[in-house]
Amino acid sequence: MREPAAQENRVILGRVSGVFGVKGWLKIWSFTDPIDRLLEHAVWSLNVPGSGWQDFEVDAGQRQGKGLVAHIAGCDDRDIARRFVQADIAVPEALLPSLPAGEYYWYQLEGLRVVAVSAGAEVLLGEVSHLLETGANDVLVIQPCEGSVDGRERMLPWVDGKVILGVDLSAGEIRVDWDPSF
């Protein structure tokens, strides 16, 4: 275990879903694409239940079935590894690769207000709760918020240039071409 990184912005990239074997390995549910991109980070911040954020060195990891397994340095016992189950896995935001203009990490979109531009009027639909991957395109799940047009949840496809008109991270807003009655 290492001292936790100073108040850096952490980005959650996965979760420990269980233990694997008897030598302290962990089953990992990765939120990255591809899933093994998480293994590129040698140090993970884990939000250990009951203990808070702590940094750990990952000394081994690999794909296993549809997920990942990883080993934390010094954790060589299944019973010790159990304390990490359900811990979120994060890395400092500064370690994430830069994206080309017009591309965003999902965490950057969560919490943004969604404004529909329809028939020359602007209507607040709500804010992004989370995103879903459907195969054809990603989907924004919009929850109502203070000032939104109604109390409905909406799901909008991420179709750049057709549905998604623009994203302004500094303004905290996504502009969409969407009929508010949908």
Instruction: List the CATH number of the domain containing 49.
Output: 2.40.30.60
**Claim to verify: residue 63 and residue 138 sit in the same structural domain:** no
38-91 pLDDT, tens digit per residue, is 999 999 999 998 889 999 999 999 999 989 999 999 999 999 999 999 999 999
Q: Are 81 and 23 in contact (CB under 8 A)?
A: no
| 106: three-class secondary structure by DSSP | helix
Taking every pair of C-alpha atoms in the chain, what is the biggest distance, in angstroms? 63
- Predicted confidence at residue 118, as pLDDT, reads 80
The answer to whether the Cα torsion of 38, 41, 47, 48 is positive or negative is positive
Residues 44 and 96: their CA atoms lie apart, in Å, by 13
117-172 pLDDT, tens digit per residue, is 987 889 999 999 999 988 889 999 999 999 999 999 999 999 999 999 999 999 99
2, pLDDT greater than 90: no
**Claim to verify: residue 126 and residue 81 sit in the same structural domain:** no
Rounded average pLDDT over 13-33: 95
Report the CATH number that the domain containing residue 135 is assigned in CATH: 2.30.30.240
User: Quick one: pLDDT band at residue 8, thresholds 50, 70, 90?
Assistant: low
DSSP-derived secondary structure letter, 23: T
93-115 pLDDT, tens digit per residue, is 999 989 898 899 999 999 999 99
Structural domains counted in the chain: 2
- Predicted confidence at residue 60, as pLDDT, reads 97
- Predicted confidence at residue 135, as pLDDT, reads 82
**Claim to verify: residue 79 and residue 49 sit in the same structural domain:** yes
